[in-house]
Amino acid sequence: MLSKNQVRFINSLKRKKIRKSEGLFLAEGEKLILDLLNSDIQLDKIFSLTEFEYPESGKVQQISERELRSISSLTTPNTMLAIFHVPETKPVQKKGLALALDEINDPGNLGTIIRLCDWFAIPQIICSKNTVDCYNPKVVQSSMGSLARVQINYLDLAEHLKQEERTIYGTFMEGQSLYKTSFAEDGVLVMGNEANGISDEIRSCIDKELGIPRFGSQNQTESLNVAMATAIFLSEMRR
């Protein structure tokens, strides 16, 4: 049985401000929840339609389908919803490859990008402060557990890039072909906003401007979606 206060509290975690002040976020679906339980991320509580074994007592509360619908963000709720603690922010790593995001707005894009980084073993994502929150329920759902395996930092991106010692690559429509670039072992790849690309302030921090060449002479395709472009860049950097 869920109390009114619980319903109100859980729903309040759909808002960034409350997630930040409470240090908690939501995840839905057994598969995703098991994936997060299997990581360093700490559980607060599970709400489940069915019985669920968890070693620590008091962590699982059984609820009805109707109650699940009252707290779910999904149009077709799964069988479980859980509250997890937002992990502590670790310092940005100084070596290896990293992805930097300059104002990515779409939660689905960020979720997909987190999955891509996990697949290609890019251990960290550095986000501008105006990039969508990675604990937004839609990001959590679309990242499919990869969220637990990729370190994500939010910071003043221009300030950070000015102090960055690695080679900074940026993606631009008219940049040099990525196929003709040999990537440094220690590098940061910057991807820009869905509509406007990389901002001028960030652009001034970039060492090499790269792009994905269009093929075919008559080609008028406007641009690739940022998640597609990220897939192609990370594949090329890791191949």
Asked if 17 interacts with a second copy (CB under 8 A), we say: no
| Nearer CB in complex with a second copy: 49/144 | 144
Q: How far is CA 68 from CA 23, 71, 99, 193, in A?
A: 22, 5, 36, 35
Asked if 224 interacts with a second copy (CB under 8 A), we say: yes
Q: Minimal distance in Å, beta carbon 204 to a second copy?
A: 28
Asked if 102 interacts with a second copy (CB under 8 A), we say: no
Task: In whole angstroms, give the CA distance from residue 17 to residue 196.
Answer: 26
Q: Minimal distance in Å, beta carbon 7 to a second copy?
A: 27
The region of 124-132, 140-148, 165-173, 185-193 touching a second copy under the rule CB under 8 A is 140-148
Cα separation of the two ends of the chain: 52
Residues 6 or more apart whose CB falls under 8 angstroms from that of 225 comprise 109, 194
The region of 2-10, 64-72, 143-151, 183-191 touching a second copy under the rule CB under 8 A is 143-151
Asked if 232 interacts with a second copy (CB under 8 A), we say: yes
The region of 88-96, 133-141, 155-163, 221-229 touching a second copy under the rule CB under 8 A is 221-229
User: Which H/E stretch holds residue 6?
Assistant: helix 4-12
Task: In whole angstroms, give the CA distance from residue 30 to residue 141.
Answer: 11
> Residues binding a second copy: what is the number (CB under 8 A)?
32
Asked if residues 83 and 174 have their Cβ atoms less than 8 Å apart, the reply is no
β-sheet bridge partners, residue 46: 60, 82
Q: Minimal distance in Å, beta carbon 164 to a second copy?
A: 22
Cα of 117 vs its chain's centroid, Å: 9
Residue from 151, 132, 8, 138 nearest 71 by CA: 8
Question: 153 to 182, contacts with a second copy by CB under 8 A?
Answer: 179
User: Which H/E stretch holds residue 236?
Assistant: helix 226-238
| Nearer CB in complex with a second copy: 28/67 | 28
Backbone angles phi and psi of 13, in degrees to 5: -75, -5
Binding a second copy (rule: CB under 8 A), the pick from 55, 58, 91, 216 is 216
Q: Minimal distance in Å, beta carbon 144 to a second copy?
A: 6
Binding a second copy (rule: CB under 8 A), the pick from 35, 67, 106, 164 is 35
Residue from 115, 10, 127 nearest 63 by CA: 10
Asked if 119 interacts with a second copy (CB under 8 A), we say: yes
Tokens (6 digits) for 29:
């679906």
Give me the residues that bind a second copy (CB under 8 A), please: 35, 112, 115-116, 118-121, 144-146, 149, 179, 212, 214-216, 218-222, 224-225, 227-228, 231-232, 235-236, 238-239
